[in-house]
Amino acid sequence: MSISRREILAGSAAAFAAELFAGPQESKQPNAALEKLGDAALKEAKRLKASYCDIRINRYRDQTIQVRLSPERGTGKTLEVPQVSDETSFGFGVRVIFEGAWGFAASPVVTPEEVRRVTGEAITVAKANASLKTRPVMLAAVKAYRDRWTSPFEKNPFEVPISDKLDLLLDVGREIKKQSKVQSSTGFLNFHSEDKYFASSEGSSIQQLIIQTFSSIEANAVDFQRRLSKSRMYVPTPLATGYEFVARMNLKEHAQRIREEVVEHLGAPPVQPGKKDLVLMPSHLFLTMHESVGHPTELDRAMGYEANYAGTSYLTLDKLGKMRVASDLVNIYGDRTTDRALATVAYDDDGVKTTKFPIVSKGIFVGYQTIRDQAHLVGEKESKGCCYADSWSSVPFQRMPNVSMEPGPRDTTLDDLISGVEDGILIEGRGSYSIDQQRYNFQFGGDAFWEIKGGKKRGMISQVAYQSRTPDFWQACDGVAGPSYWQMYGSGRDGKGEPTQINSMSHGCSPARFRQIDVIQTD
């Protein structure tokens, strides 16, 4: 029977989806209809003699509003170009372990019959793989939970009129364009929700709702005579929160700033390359931390499971607990519990209660990120709750949690960091980023750069990128600003795995100083 005929017979799935995930926010129990569907998979897997089964029934929604102001061809008149879209996706995925091998199958048709059929498909896949397995899958123990959790929000962004969002972005775009030398502006808002249900043959039944808010604004300026163009962005901290956060982004105020800075950047002199001291703001440093600490401490990467795509890690198992990867000032942790951080949930996609754990402690590498089928590889009895799949149709696997750096001493200010620099650069925002397949050699750009001379922040410079080797870079950290400077930023589309999946996570840090880093002059 074709998929479409099965679905027509199934009836109104859209209403069904709404009914499945409905229920008061404060309810602590999963919806009974979800549990009934989940049970269909678990019973079928048991009947077919799988040793483990879990099912995720998920619904995703993405609402994106974008407004671009740019000159009309021929007239130069500013056109205001809106774009609005609203996407949903609903389906389920089943994982099984059969004869020690994983199998997975997924479908967009959410009916008991299809759930049973797809469970059978997952077992077929597992049977085929069993002949190629090297060792049976081993899962760390986990308690059974029956729970319901919602990420904190005051105003559901999907209930806010689209017209309000469009008006906001138009207002901000027009503010940017008040600078006559700005060629174009773009404003962007995205609201993402994940309704997730997880049930496992080990007795868990967990329903969660996560809402995330993303935004950015950008100004572009062009010098036709010098064949040069520059952009300047403001990216507010993306968070797992509701529309109440949008007002706190202060988009209009930042629009006024970036419209001037993009013009200044366009005329800024190029950097003189050489070894320099860098003061890196949280809006920039978060990405360096993500790439050079977050990724190499993923256990599956260190064990070779990512070797064919993103590579392995220089942090091999023999270095755990021993290798100095940073200065004494650097303490970095992984977690999925920080309030409103992007990767924060109550339970991961293995059904493990999430937690906080150290990764780098006073500069020493002390912990990997793990999931249930990895924990035993490092002699641990429990998973650190880092399992995630980006869709009902994706296989859950180990993904980076929120990874953050502890702030420095209370009385260390940003000015303290700057005043200790004779010849250096302050970098804000993200630009180009590239790191090798074991997370050693990297090169990072930024969004804006200011020269620091004789302990003072001077004018903007341009064409800056820095290169370093991860452990050398982090050991060159000799100053971290205090808690009042600590800010969280985030990565919204981190790619990993084959087929590639995306993930969002937050990274918090204070401004920090790094000594004598190689700076190059780019185009």
Partner 1 sequence: MLTRDESQKLTDRVLKLSKMPECSVSIEETEQAFIRFANNGVTTSGLTLQRRVVVSTGRDGRTGVSETSEVDDSALEAVVRKAEELAQIAPPNPEHVEPLGPQKYPDYDNFDERTARARGPELVPQVKAVIDAARTKKLVAAGFLYRTASVQASANKAGNFFFERSTDSRLSTTVRTPNGSSSGWAAHPAARLSEINGADLSARAIDKCIRWDGKALRLDPGKYTVVLEPAAVSDIFLFAVPGLGARLSEEGRSFFSKRGGGTLLGEKLFPEIITLRSDPFDRRFPTQIASDDLPARQITWIEKGVLKNLVYNRYWAKKSEREPTGPANNLVLEGGEGGPMDLVKAVDRGLLVTRFWYVRFVNPQTGQATGLTRDGLFLIEDGKLTQPVMNLRFTESPYRMLQNALGVGRNVRSRGGEGAGMITPSLVVKDFTFTSVSDAV
Q: Which of 307, 328, 410, 483 binds partner 1 (CB under 8 A)?
A: 307
Distance CA 208, CA 354 (A): 13
Pairing label, strands 441-444, 402-405: unpaired
Q: Which of 81, 141, 144, 247 binds partner 1 (CB under 8 A)?
A: 81
Determine if 158 is a binding residue for partner 1 (CB under 8 A): no
Sequence-separated (6 or more) residues with CB below 8 Å from residue 24: none
410 within 8 A of 482, measured Cβ to Cβ: yes
Determine if 437 is a binding residue for partner 1 (CB under 8 A): yes
Stretch that binds partner 1, among 32-40, 157-165, 211-219, 356-364 (CB under 8 A): 157-165
* Of 407 and 497, CB closest to partner 1: 497
Q: Which of 22, 46, 47, 71 binds partner 1 (CB under 8 A)?
A: 71
Determine if 309 is a binding residue for partner 1 (CB under 8 A): yes
DSSP letters along 228-258, please? EEEEEEE-PPPBS--THHHHHT-HHHHHHHH
Select from 78, 83, 92 the least CA-distant residue to 37. 92
* Of 296 and 334, CB closest to partner 1: 296
Determine if 228 is a binding residue for partner 1 (CB under 8 A): yes
Distance CA 298, CA 316 (A): 10
Select from 476, 480, 481 the least CA-distant residue to 515. 476
96 within 8 A of 122, measured Cβ to Cβ: yes
Determine if 76 is a binding residue for partner 1 (CB under 8 A): no
The Cβ of residue 44 has, within 10 Å, a number of other Cβ atoms equal to 23
* Of 8 and 28, CB closest to partner 1: 8
* Of 309 and 357, CB closest to partner 1: 309
Question: If you count them, how many residues does the chain have?
Answer: 523
Stretch that binds partner 1, among 152-160, 211-219, 298-306, 412-420 (CB under 8 A): 298-306
Q: Which of 26, 28, 74, 180 binds partner 1 (CB under 8 A)?
A: 74
Distance CA 494, CA 298 (A): 13
Taking the complex as a whole, the smallest distance from the CB of residue 435 to partner 1 amounts, in Å, to: 6
67 within 8 A of 84, measured Cβ to Cβ: no
Stretch that binds partner 1, among 219-227, 262-270, 321-329, 351-359 (CB under 8 A): 219-227
* Of 159 and 523, CB closest to partner 1: 523
Stretch that binds partner 1, among 39-47, 190-198, 252-260, 428-436 (CB under 8 A): 428-436
Q: Which of 24, 76, 161, 379 binds partner 1 (CB under 8 A)?
A: 161
Determine if 278 is a binding residue for partner 1 (CB under 8 A): no
Determine if 29 is a binding residue for partner 1 (CB under 8 A): no
The torsion angles phi and psi of 216, rounded to 5 degrees, stand at -160, 155
Determine if 89 is a binding residue for partner 1 (CB under 8 A): yes
Select from 91, 507, 82, 89 the least CA-distant residue to 288. 507
Sequence-separated (6 or more) residues with CB below 8 Å from residue 371: 300, 348, 350, 352, 383, 384, 385, 386, 387, 396, 397, 398
Binders of partner 1 among residues 110 to 149 (CB under 8 A) are: 121-122, 124-125, 127-129, 131-135
The torsion angles phi and psi of 18, rounded to 5 degrees, stand at -60, -40
Taking the complex as a whole, the smallest distance from the CB of residue 84 to partner 1 amounts, in Å, to: 5
Q: Which of 457, 469, 482, 487 binds partner 1 (CB under 8 A)?
A: 469
Q: Which of 37, 55, 101, 346 binds partner 1 (CB under 8 A)?
A: 101
